[in-house]
Structure 1
Amino acid sequence: MTENANAAAAAAQATTAVLIGQSTVQIWGMSSAERLTRQLARAGVKDVRVSAEGLENVGSVVILRIDFAYDQRLIDALATRPGATLVAGGVAIASAVAGRDAQAASGVLASGEAPVGTEILDSEGLAGSYNRKLRKREIAFVIPLNSQSVKDVEARSFAGSYKGVTDFVTKYWWPAPAKAVTKWCAVRRITPNQVTYLGLLLMFVALGMFWEGWYLLGLIPAWIMTFLDTVDGKLARVTMTSSKFGDILDHGIDLIHPPFWWIAWIIGLEKAGMPVAHPELLVWIIVGGYVVQRLFEGAFIRLWGFHMHVWRPFDSFFRLITARRNPNLVILTAFTLIGRPDWGMILVCAWIVLSLVVHLFQLVQAAVESRSRTLVSWLDAA
């Protein structure tokens, strides 16, 4: 980036915000003003005020009506798009203006009008329709905030915290109970890291039980841990309390523990009186398959700039069932319930190998197609 481009980017990033209007509604246990302050902080705007006085020398100022609830993407977009005004239902509700115009613009926005000379945009025009971070198509929400709309706001913000491409357990089984538990935690100010620590404890409990061959008992903390793994991320997103440490902790646990569970499962089979032939081969498949699958996914991102699971519709479908922790846990649970945890592990290993074959074909196909055209995610395609 050139020096002029760097200067332009710095000038475009708002560092100050003004919250106007009134609201007494609580969202996820927070007032509208508190929620917006947290959202603005995530967008890099740390100076939040209730008056536009004294901002004449500030470069860009974001002005927001607090009687509306905003998707985080809209806050992010306003913070880097001076001269834009967000409208919803024909009413202007937020704007990014120069500091010298902030006081006048605040008065205009309070009446639902757009400041003169600003670019009027709806939600899709301001933030687009593809959420790259969560890998899904979704128009950012903006909702008038009142006691009747709180449930809708919380439902939309919770849905907006979900990845569009993930395994079928996370996508179809967990949303309803996870939303209830997330709300319970948010109201009581329980932090995402506290949920993660509980999940970490349960991960070790499950590991020990699998090691001893106590599969039915071990599956209980294992499944609770996978559920809490959904809750902590959703809680962090809806309450805007994510942190670098929490992100590293959560993703580190997710990255490391699954192969150790499966290895413990194999060791436990001997103690449970159901040893498998060539257990060392199964261990090599588990460890090697896990590492190679991650390498394939990393190589795809490095070569073409996006996840292999969002390249084509088939790739997104296969992510639902590929040999990751939750689908593997479903297989092991089903076979344990019929008294054959050994068969379950053999099938998991076979599924790991088959999934690797599919991912290898994805890489090869991408390499071939990229020679004649630029690869684009089907979710991001115009």
Structure 2
Amino acid sequence: MTDPQISPRPRVAVLVGASTVRIWGMSSAERLRRQLQRAGVSDVRASAEGLEQQADALILRLDWAYDQRLIAALLERPGACLVSGAEAVAASVAGARAQEVAGAIANGEIPAGTEELDPEGLAGSYDRKLRKREIAFLIPLSEASVADVEQRSFAGSYKGVTDFVTKFWWPRPARAVTKWCAERAITPNQVTYLGLVLMFVALFLFWNGNFLLGLIPAWIMTFLDTVDGKLARVTMTSSKFGDILDHGIDLIHPPFWWIAWIYGLPKAGYPVDYAGLMIAVILIGYIVQRLFEGAFIRLWGFHMHVWRPFDSFFRLITARRNPNLVILTLFTLLGRPDLGMAAVCVWIVLSLVVHGAQVLQGTVENRRAPLVSWLDA
């Protein structure tokens, strides 16, 4: 005879107070519902009356904007009360106390018997998913604070360790385009599909030796690759299919662009003596670099790019799509797309040497002490 399975405790969210402010085209209530859905809470109510005593209840004020990490952290910390200064903003309690606590939270009062935590105390200061140090935001909602909320939530959707184009060039225009898309209910997948079309247009133009013309859709595609992910995060509309589609395109297309470029050089009047070698460098370099990165994660549980400050710096310039596009663009503007591709091949080899050294160094260092990211130290 086996013991009956124990049913999981139901999770319920109760939204208290009110707000007329809209963020990224959403009401505060709609934004919180989407955040809760992402955190695994689908039962969202306007009142704690009649709530099951055995439930785990989140009480959240509608007149505040929450970083997604705070929602997730509250779920994992029963008895916690999220505060800003001396004002209570949210709490995680048992269903038996939900109505009492909801009344206190609605008035900004800290419920008796709860653990007072500010955003850093609740969620820490390191976001492992986005590879950066950043305290989760918690901002009172008003018409005057909308810009701040949108700026913080947009910045919070960015990886801290990425290439220099994505990190320094795209944020301002990407935020404006993301806002435009959000207000018109344009979905992240629609942006991704447009990027996919532009990827093929660039591929066709490179193949036929139209390099300057091809760089236009290529750069727009890379920009939209930033927008679709940010749009999904700020509007909480990401999906498994969208994630697979976006990452699948990102993973596959760069080497095909470079190979098409090589085939296009003779058509543009630039003879290539070592086309086979260049294609081998592109394919082998791309695959081995990904294998190095995957091996590092598998061995030590985090990305090689966040191990040491140097590794994070090198991610800015390593031979990925955007830095390679910068090289090709500069040489093409100088009238030498052939030398641009030669420079990309050299940079792929040098980057591969660096990544191989990172794995080797990690193996040696791990014998002395377990590896820890400098951002998580």
TM bin, normalised by shorter chain, reads over 0.9
Using a 3 Å threshold, how does the CA distance of structure 1 residues 7 and 230 change in structure 2: closer, same or farther?
A: farther
Counterpart of 1:135 (choices 131, 134, 137) is: 131
Q: 1 CA distance for matches of 2:50 and 2:133?
A: 40
Superposed displacement of residue 82, structure 1:
1.1
Question: RMSD of the TM alignment (CA)?
Answer: 1.2
Question: Does residue 250 of structure 1 match 2:246?
Answer: yes
Identity of aligned residues (%): 75
Correspondent of 2:229 among 213, 229, 233: 233
Shift of 1:81: 1.5
Is 2:263 aligned against 1:272?
no
* Structure 2 match to 1:199: 195
Matched, 1:325 2:321: yes
Pairs aligned (count): 374
Q: What amino acid maps onto 2:221 in structure 1? A: M
- Report the AA paired with residue 194 of structure 1: Q
Equivalent of 2:167 in 148, 171, 176: 171
Q: Of residues 62, 65, 82 in structure 1, which corresponds to 2:58?
A: 62
CA contact (8 A) 1:45 1:79 kept: no
Is the partner of 1:86 in helix, strand or coil? strand
> In structure 1, what is the Cα distance between the partners aligned to 2:374 and 2:102?
40
SS at match of 1:370: helix
**1:376 correspondence with 2:368:** no
Secondary structure at the aligned position of 1:139 is classed as coil
Looking at structure 1, the residues matched to 271 and 47 of structure 2 have their Cα atoms a distance apart, in angstroms, of 71
The one-character-per-residue Cα deviations of 1:267-316 (angstroms, maximum 9, x if unpaired) are 00010110221100000000000000000000000000000000000000
Amino acid at match of 2:220: I
Partners of 1:21 and 1:89 in 2: CA distance: 19
Return the offset for 1:58: 3.8
Q: Give runs of aligned pairs for residues 213-362 of structure 1, distance below 5 A.
A: 213-362=209-358
Q: Displacement of 1:89 after TM fit?
A: 2.3
Farther off after superposition, 270-279 or 322-331: 270-279
Equivalent position SS for 1:253: helix
Are 2:13 and 1:17 equivalent residues in the alignment?
Answer: yes
Which amino acid letter does the alignment assign opposite residue 302 of structure 1? R
CA distance, structure 2, for counterparts of residue 122 and residue 373 of structure 1 = 33
Q: Tell me, which stretches of 5 or more residues in structure 2 are unaligned? A: none
Secondary structure of the equivalent of 2:153?
A: helix
* TM-score for both structures, normalised by structure 2: 0.98
| Residue deviations 1:6-59 (CA, integer Å, cap 9, x gap) | 979x54xx6210000010000000000000000000000000000001113342
Which secondary structure state, in structure 1, belongs to the residue aligned with residue 144 of structure 2?
A: coil
Q: Are 1:110 and 2:106 counterparts?
A: yes
Please report how far the alpha carbon of residue 110 of structure 1 lies from its aligned counterpart in structure 2 after TM superposition: 1.1
1:72-124 superposed Cα distances (whole Å, 9 cap, x missing partner): 00001112211111001220010011001100101011111122111110000
CA distance in 1, matches of 2:351, 2:113: 55
Please state how far the C-alpha of 1:346 moved relative to its aligned partner.
0.1
